Amino acid sequence: MADKIDHSLIKTDLYDAVNGEWLKTATIPGDHSTTGGFTDLSDGIEKTLMADFKDLLAGKLKPENDEMNEFKQFYELVSDFDKRDKDGSAPLKPYLDRIEALNSYQDLSDQLADWILTGLPTPFSLDIDSDMKDSTKYALFASGPRLFLPDKTYYEKDNQAAKQLLPVLEKMMAQLFKLAGYKEAETQSIIEKATAFDKLIAPHVKSAEESADYSKMYNPRSLDQIADSTDKLDLRTAITSLLHGTPEKIITTEPDYFDALGDLLTDDHFQMMKSWLLFKTVMGLSSYLTDEQRQTSTIYGRAMSGRKEARSQEKSAYDLATGTFDQVVGDYYGRKYFGETAKQDVHDMVVKMINVYKKRLANNTWLGKATREKAILKLDKLGIQVGYPDKIDPLYSKFKVTPASNGGSVLSNLMTFTRIRNEDDFSRWNQPVDRTRWEMSASTVNAYFHPFYNIIVFPAAILQAPFYSLKQSSSENFGGIGAVIAHEISHAFDNNGSLFDENGSLNNWWTEADNQHFHELAENMVKEFDGLPYAGQKVNGKLTVSENIADAGGLSCALEAAKGEPDVDLNAFFLNWAKIWRQKATPEREKLLLSIDVHAPAKLRANVQVQNLDDFFSTFDIQPGDKMYMAPENRVKIW
């Protein structure tokens, strides 16, 4: 059935004109916080794969490779809730006992490398990624830990969201500790100390807005400097053990945190830190135990997002199994439901969008010749990944399931896989960067640009209607997947992507004049969105600027590509653009995203971006006085 569009509303509100009728009847499933564009596609894939994997478990569908066979065994294990309930908290006990056995920082320090490989929490975070200054090899990154609340801004005095969320978190944790065998008085003390330590951490880590600025990420420190951050933990030995080598530099994304680490890890704070470790472990691992623990562990997340109920046993087992073997499942999905023909078709579309972008750069009026040439070189070297990888990541061949008959539990297997994954990550240090490696499953409804690798990735899952379909007109496809493709290309030239050169290295390739002009244009985009009212709050223009620049560039380039087709229909182009952003979300979800999400709300993405394009006004005869009208001098044009 075709969507009912209220054409009389287009001059007032494009998003409502296209999606108003749908919004009236759309209902958010109880275990969701949203419904609409992206969510509907995810739900469709989930339904398809759950049916397939039901046949897999029943023996009607044969595993096509060894990795799929291990996935099948793991799926059987996570689906056996009778066994999980029988095991109770026993699988968690060894990890809690290990934390309980700590009597000093020295006890933790003596086993720190193994502790990190095991996947237990630490009051700092280590990670491997491409060296921001030399994208040919992997480097070690260091940052602060994740907080209990969604963002450091929640820890500010009189934050109303925190006043609502913290009691919910504490009540949930009291239940989880009780289910893990702790007495009430003991639990209360742990929770008080853990939350106190978390509050001490909060001022020294970055907020979502601060983290969104990649120019502040690269803060190289020597191993000595990192090791000297605290005298309570031997970071030098831990790091050299993990890397099997000695790094000359460690990229410190949150330098303020390491400046404060010595003041956080004091003898007076030891019991607080130990409680924080227990809290994090119980919070992180309870969902892999009994069904009661699984459901209880969702209470806090559901309060944050407004989901009314936990996922069913069947769906939670699907989530856990497919999430653990995500690339294996992606390979199956991509080959069965997408295939090589569609892969090539979309790849051609990406190349077409890159060529449109090149043409625009060549004709750009505000960039100097030298900067233009470097920008075109960056496009020439842009890596393209479409559909699904050519082969499954070798990491998954190491995942061997220990079945229940051999004493295996869901948690013991997951912790084994975690160790394998961590060892694999740390083994990459100082090795050549693999730009062909996928970081997202082909069955994920999303797309991304990675500035460190200068690659764009379009998993098979997003390449379906309304984003893309052979049944849709070229203009509809360009208003959907074309705009998404060009959005990801635009990230190479947003306020963050523009910091990195054609190889993905942090390197200023702009002339000073061009750079200044670009930042003035970017500031216009900040102002266009900053303070826009939404869900009883206001949009943060600085937090969302990179995504808004990418949306603007993406939509503008997709429009040019659509106009180049013989069957161009700009009406269909703009209407499908508005359709792909349709979304209904819980009020809690909307408020949470306004504080932490780098994307503007879906409705504003649909409505504001079209107002920057002259063709939108001529297509629908929008005149001064119409609500969707924007004066030409206020239209933000960057790419």
274, two tokens = 């130990």
CB neighbours of 181 closer than 8 A, spacing ≥ 6? 89, 93
Residue 583 parent element (H or E): strand 583-585
544 within 8 A of 598, measured Cβ to Cβ:
yes
Which residue among the candidates 170, 331, 488, 528 is catalytic per the annotation? 488
- How many degrees, rounded to 5, is the angle at CA 313 between CA 312 and CA 318? 95
The HSE-up count of residue 159 (CA atoms within 13 Å, CB side) is 16
In degrees and rounded to multiples of 5, residue 195 shows phi and psi of: -70, -30
39 within 8 A of 580, measured Cβ to Cβ:
no
In degrees and rounded to multiples of 5, residue 569 shows phi and psi of: -145, 95
| CA gap 566, 588 in Å, rounded | 45
Cα separations (Å) of 179 from 88, 208, 267, 275, 281? Answer: 9, 33, 30, 17, 14
- Helix, coil or strand: residue 126: strand
Residues 303-312: b if buried by 16+ CB within 10 A, e if exposed: bbbbbeebbe
Which residue among the candidates 13, 198, 393, 551 is catalytic per the annotation? 551
State yes or no: is 523 an active-site residue: no
521 residue type, one letter:
L
CB neighbours of 86 closer than 8 A, spacing ≥ 6? none
360 within 8 A of 557, measured Cβ to Cβ:
yes
- Cα-trace Rg, the chain: 25
DSSP 179-232: HTT--HHHHHHHHHHHHHHHHHHGGGSPPHHHHT-GGGT--EE-HHHHHTT-SS
283 within 8 A of 251, measured Cβ to Cβ:
no
What is residue 132's DSSP assignment? S
| CA gap 3, 397 in Å, rounded | 45
Question: If we measure between CA atoms, which residue out of 147, 247, 248, 241 comes closest to residue 198?
Answer: 147
- Helices 160-179 and 270-285: crossing angle, nearest 10°? 80
CB neighbours of 531 closer than 8 A, spacing ≥ 6? 538, 539, 541
State yes or no: is 488 an active-site residue: yes
Question: If we measure between CA atoms, which residue out of 564, 567, 548 comes closest to residue 611?
Answer: 548
627 within 8 A of 575, measured Cβ to Cβ:
no
CB neighbours of 388 closer than 8 A, spacing ≥ 6? 330, 331, 333, 334, 335, 338, 343, 438, 442, 459, 460
| CA gap 192, 621 in Å, rounded | 61
87, two tokens = 């095991």
Residue 517 parent element (H or E): helix 512-529
- Catalytic residues, by residue number, are 488, 551
